[in-house]
Amino acid sequence: NVFNEYTYTLETIIQAGQKGMAITYVPIRTNGYLRPSRLVKSISSYVQRSIFTIIRIFMTYQPLRFFTMLGSVPFGLGFLLCLRWLFLYFTGTDRSHVPSLVLAAVLLIIGVQLWILGLVADLMSVNRKLLEDVQLRLRRRDIEQSNF
């Protein structure tokens, strides 16, 4: 199933790779330049849309890995701020450094929430795979019934 409305090529190649399918190529001949492309306005816009497509596919097919990596950034920063606060607390500085402790708590919470979001998205991904399997079986059954 292709979800991207911009171009199916990139998404199809990545989906095939995720499912372990073999990919081959067919040599083609291109037409000469007749008019500006309706699909690609500029190279930078194409690269930007392609990056968005790759991130979206990564989120769809490997959500636990994606959100674990994403959540590790704020969690790691929050953990470092906690270590800094503990160091300053035990070395006995005059200032309380409560703002850094509050920021650390917020970053830790954001990181944990992203990890939990990854778990939920992973469960949804399993459900999507099951639905794809059901859809494939129904299509095969419809084809078999139409042949009789």
User: What count of other Cβ atoms lies within 10 Å of the Cβ of residue 91?
Assistant: 7
Q: Is the dihedral of CA 120, 121, 126, 130 positive or negative?
A: positive
Q: How far apart are CA 95 and CA 80, in angstroms?
A: 18
Pull the structure tokens for residue 127. 């459900």
- Per-residue DSSP letter, 31: P
Whether 74 shows a pLDDT value over 90: the answer reads yes
Whether 46 shows a pLDDT value over 90: the answer reads no
Residue pair 54/3 in contact by the 8 Å Cβ criterion: no
Indicate the pTM of the whole model: 0.73
Share of the chain above pLDDT 90, in %: 40
